[in-house]
């Protein structure tokens, strides 16, 4: 029964994460529910084992099916490695709960902007950032990478929003580029957890298989149904994040 829950949850997490991110919203609470007595750091690390497999698989599928904006994805991913490692190091000094009100506010802004701008990300448009695009991509990767290492929820959504808003990408190409940045942040986070309390390899690798299958289906759905599908799923994930963070603040 436990394995059925873990594998089905990892499959769904991989599918959602491949399109707009947010797989951790499904996997991590599931791991905590199934292993309530396990140290939280081990559960975080185990979640990353599964997430890396799914995100890497999604990134590979996107690279085979559409043109990846490598001039932006590479500097953003490289900077994200540094940002995620720094964020993971800082988390031991500052309580991540201090970020919740700010993150909640940012998610409301992202959700409202996407909702009230129906054409947002529907097609490629002139970029807000015209000069030093690689530098701005690195800034985006560094800042979101730091956030992912420090706190995490909504990383994929923030990345997609950033790529669309700053560089004029459509939703599909923004989602594809975000997978490479997310892969970098997950690798940095896993390295941190491995150097501390470790992971549950049997559970992590088993969930990784299901996550990859979900990611494969999610990538195909994103490519087939395009920007409109990604926009609505992004709004759904952001809404769930807003409700969860708001309830965490109130309760």
pLDDT for 98:
67
Residue 81: pLDDT band (50, 70, 90) is very high
Which residues lie below 8 Å from residue 71, measured CB to CB, with a gap of 6+? 133, 134, 137
pLDDT of 7-50, one tens digit each? 999 999 999 999 988 888 888 888 988 998 888 788 888 999 99
Q: How many CB atoms lie within 10 A of CB 119?
A: 9
pTM exceeds cut of 0.75: yes
Reported as a pLDDT band with limits 50, 70 and 90, residue 56 is very high
User: Can you give the pLDDT at residue 97?
Assistant: 67
C-alpha R_g of the chain: 17
Predicted confidence band of residue 91 (pLDDT cuts 50, 70, 90):
low
Query: Do 166 and 127 touch, CB atoms closer than 8 A?
Result: yes
Token reading at 245? 């963070």
Higher pLDDT, 153 or 232: 232
Can you read off the two tokens belonging to residue 162? Answer: 């950033």
Find the angle CA(16)-CA(53)-CA(149) to the nearest 5 degrees: 80
- Residue 109's H or E segment, with its range, is helix 100-116
**Quick one: pLDDT band at residue 203, thresholds 50, 70, 90?**
very high
């Amino acid at each position: 029964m436990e394995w059925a829950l873990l594998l089905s949850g990892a499959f769904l997490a991989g599918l959602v994460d491949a399109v707009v991110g947010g797989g951790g919203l499904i996997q991590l609470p599931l791991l905590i529910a199934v292993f309530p007595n396990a140290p939280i750091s081990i559960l975080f690390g185990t979640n990353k084992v599964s997430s890396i497999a799914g995100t890497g698989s999604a990134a590979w599928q996107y690279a085979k099916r559409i043109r990846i904006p490598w001039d932006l994805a590479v500097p953003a991913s490289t900077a994200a490695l540094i940002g995620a490692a720094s964020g993971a190091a800082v988390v031991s000094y500052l309580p991540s709960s201090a970020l919740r009100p700010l993150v909640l506010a940012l998610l409301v802004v992202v959700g409202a902007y996407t909702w009230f701008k129906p054409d947002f990300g529907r097609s490629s448009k002139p970029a807000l950032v015209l000069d030093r695009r690689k530098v701005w991509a690195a800034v985006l990767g560094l800042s979101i990478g730091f956030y992912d290492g420090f706190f995490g929820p909504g990383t994929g959504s923030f990345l997609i929003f950033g790529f669309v808003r700053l560089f004029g990408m459509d939703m599909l190409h923004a989602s594809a580029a975000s997978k490479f940045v997310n892969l970098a942040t997950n690798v940095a986070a896993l390295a941190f957890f491995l150097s501390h309390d470790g992971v549950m390899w049997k559970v992590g690798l088993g969930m990784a298989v299901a996550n990859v299958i979900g990611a494969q289906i999610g990538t195909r759905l994103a490519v087939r149904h395009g920007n409109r599908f990604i926009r609505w799923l992004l709004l759904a994930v952001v809404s769930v994040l807003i409700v969860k963070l708001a309830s965490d603040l109130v309760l």
